Amino acid sequence: MSRRMSYEGVAVTVPVTVPYVRYSTHTAHWFIGQAVDALVKASGIAKEGIDALCLSSFSLVPDTAVGVTQHLGLSPRWLDHVPTGGASGVMCLRRAARAVQAGDADVVACVAADTNHVDSFRQTLGAFSNFARDASYPYGSGGPNSIFAFITANYMRSYGATREDFGRIAVDQRSNALANPNALFKKPLTLDEYMAARPISDPIHLFDCVMPCAGAEAFLVMSEARARDLGLPHVLIRGAIERHNAFAEDPVMVRGGWRMDRADLYAQAGVQPDALDFIQTYDDYPVIVMMQFEDLGFCEKGEGPAFVREHGMTFKGSFPNNTSGGQLSVGQAGAAGGFLGMTEAIRQLTDQAGARAVADAQLGLVAGFGMVTYDRCLCTGAVILGKSE
């Protein structure tokens, strides 16, 4: 493998959230526009000064990123549309960082947004993946709940995980969400309530599932020198990886692509997992969070259940995870779910996390996971971000 160029000199800054709503009659274009407007206002950079755009959205179809440039009156000299859902935050960041380093762009707006009207979730599922549809529809199965029930049940059989183990993840994330004004879920969740929730697709119950909603997340990528000149609080990229279609030989997914490249990730950053102050995992279902704990090297494969029993995962705990509340308690605004961990990590490392701040945080990891078919996910990524000096 060729030696990777570092990400030195690149800053990530201006995390913005367009507040989530359960349903909306606005289009994805509107939420993207709101995000860009928020980036302009928060950064002090004129719209004309944003010369690059990296975009992720499911409900933007049939438009793509280039259609958005006309819709918003942008004229970028660098453009990318990253259709990898939950992995798009990491992947947009990596591409934007390289564009800045190469001189192809000065200021990149990374934006993810989706709408959610009454029928849009069903439409998204129907058009999400022909491969997944053809594999699952003949059995009367459709949508992520049955797919992740299959993956969760297989993991439980393989490694002895229980519903209580997954519940610990969901309950601690809800505690974090109570300190996040952007979270849709405002009520505490106990383990007893988690266990008693109605079944959705065995072994998945209600609080294992994210709530689809509408909203947007965004951030800016530019040179570190530019961010300093503008007086923008920013973080630095210490290392980043991505992988697609990893471990295709596994009959059912029990490990993700992070495992293939984690040594490279930590080598880039010059640290080991125990140096990290928090982690933001992609959490469409708790089983995937547990896999990330294992595959990112915090414990060995199959030790995830014991790991969550031994650690507190709130922002005050021994292992802060999804300090915003994650999608399980903030909501899943489509592709914006892939950016949620990124904006939260930036806030944590620039003293903008408010009441949910992790004390003295210097380093954080954001993991991405997207594009699930009927038995596995195809896209994984991770980035280590560090506080600027």
Percent of the chain with pLDDT over 90: 88
**Nearest alpha-carbon partner for 120 in 65, 67, 57:** 57
Residue 321's pLDDT band (boundaries 50, 70, 90)?
very high
Torsion angle, CA of 382/329/124/38, rounded to 10 degrees?
A: -70
Supply φ then ψ for residue 27, to 5 degrees.
-85, 170
Collapse the DSSP code of 207 into the 3-class scheme (helix H, G, I; strand E, B; otherwise coil) and give the result.
helix
pTM of the shown model: 0.95
* Average pLDDT over every residue of 91-115: 98
Contact of 295 with 258, CB cutoff 8 Å = yes
Q: What is the mean pLDDT of the chain?
A: 94
Distance in angstroms (rounded) separating the CA atoms of residues 61 and 76: 20
Residue 314's pLDDT band (boundaries 50, 70, 90)?
very high
| Tokens encoding 235 | 């973080």
**Nearest alpha-carbon partner for 84 in 49, 107, 110:** 110
Give the tens place of pLDDT for each residue, 144-189: 888 899 999 999 999 999 999 999 999 999 999 999 999 999 999 9
Residue 134 pLDDT exceeds 80? no
Contact of 215 with 21, CB cutoff 8 Å = yes
Residue 121 pLDDT exceeds 60? no
Residue 132 pLDDT exceeds 90? no
How far from each other are the two terminal CA atoms of the chain, in whole angstroms? 32
**Nearest alpha-carbon partner for 322 in 313, 333, 309, 331:** 313
